Every structure is written in C-alpha cells, then in structure tokens.
Amino acid sequence: MDPQPLILPPSVRLLLPEEVPAGDNYARLRANVARGQAARFTTGYVLKLTPGPGFRAYAEVNVHAPDLWSLVRDLTTELLPEHAALLIGPKDEKPNGCPYRNKQALLDAVEPYGEALARDAFVEFGFIWQRSGVTDEVFVHSARWLKIWTTRPQALEAAMSRHGIPRAESLVFLDQFPRVTDVTRHPPEMYTHDELIGRVLAAEAALPEASAG
C-alpha cells in the first residue's frame, strides 16, 4: 500500500497567503502559511507501542474524508468492547461525555449522521471505553485526523490494512499549520454543526444505559 495525497472535506483547508492578516505577527504567520502550502499531506498512520498499563498502543491517522466515517465505525467495532460511550462537541471545546451504551446499538444510532460528522470540521467526536485504568478510544480531531488509544494494536493494524491505509514513520497533519474552518450546511434542512451535535446527542440519549462493569 502506498500513501495517497489526502482528500480533505470542504469544511477545512489551509489558510492562503493572501488571507494572512496584517499585524505584528504577519511575517511569522506568513512563514507558517508558506510551510503549510509546501507540506505533503498523505494517507497513513503512525503507530507507537507503549509499555504502560492503560493502553498498548497510540496511533495517529490521516484518512480521506469520504472514508472517515467508515474507518471510525470499523475501528470502534474492532477495538472497543461490548459497551462504549459517545464523545462529541464543538471544535476546541471539551467534548460531551455520555453514558455507556451497547456499542452496536450506539453505532446504529449514530449511523444516520456518520457522513455529516465526517465532513463537518466544526465537530469533534469519537467513542471510548475507559475502565479500571484501561482505555480504548477512537477520536476525530477537528482537523479531520484520528487519534486512537488501544489495547489491541494488531486489530488496529488489520483494520488499517482493510482500509488501504499504509503505516508511516511520520505524517503531516493539517492542524500543524494555520487553517480555515468553514460552516457546513447539512441537507435537507441545511442545518449547521450545533444542530448536528444536538441530533446526535438526542439519538444517543434514546438508547438504554448499559453497565460499564
């Protein structure tokens, strides 16, 4: 598998040189923008094995925007146990922590909004299991790359292989450079990220709470 030039959603992009505002930091910001324009963003994942008891590996992933929800769903299915909790919130804010639900029921409830979540860079979201100091989590950053904490690194690598995402020694991520986030309007009502978050939370809240034990 070879890395491919990364496809981003229309909701997030690099700041353009002509958009750099005047001010005391103009030269430094302009230089950062230039570095971003020259950067090579590709698909791939970086995996770091850890000796700690909380999780066995941490991964960072670049995936094409049209494939993001499918990957999140697959990783959550493979890496998290029977129960999981939804994490969701606006960019740059602490996400809402929800009760544990049956994982499959939770994924089914979020499924109608999966593609909308994938393309709206004003939303961060993911799924988590955390108990007795052990963490399994799949989380989507507002710059549309994934952070994964897992106790099952081999299952993670198998999922990446199924999705055609190659392992890399290093990657470049969009939030390393000045970026612009544009409002996404979701059909058919053309609602924005606040309504999207509300709808997902309502779908999640309709599920019965599950024991985390």
Whole-angstrom CA distances from 192 to 98, 124, 167, 209 are 21, 14, 34, 28
Residues 169, 72: Cα–Cα separation, whole Å: 22
- The tens digit of pLDDT for each residue in 187-207 reads 999 999 999 999 999 999 999
- The tens digit of pLDDT for each residue in 72-125 reads 999 999 999 999 999 999 999 999 889 999 999 999 999 999 999 999 999 999
Question: Residue 55: which residues within 8 A CB-CB, separation 6 or more?
Answer: 134, 135, 136, 149, 150, 151
- State how far Cα 93 lies from the chain centre: 14
User: With 90 as the cut, is the pLDDT of residue 175 above it?
Assistant: yes
Report the candidate in 92, 107, 83 with the shortest Cα–Cα distance to residue 203.
107
Intra-chain end-to-end CA distance of the chain, in Å: 39
* Confidence label for 52 from pLDDT (cuts 50, 70 and 90): confident
Tokens 């000796």 correspond to: 51
- Using an 8 Å Cβ cutoff, are 193 and 120 in contact? yes
pLDDT on residue 198: 97
User: With 50 as the cut, is the pLDDT of residue 212 above it?
Assistant: no
Question: What residue segments make up the domains of the chain, in order of their start?
Answer: 12-205
Report the candidate in 43, 51, 33, 16 with the shortest Cα–Cα distance to residue 171.
43
Residues 70, 159: Cα–Cα separation, whole Å: 11
Six-digit token pair at 59? 């991964």
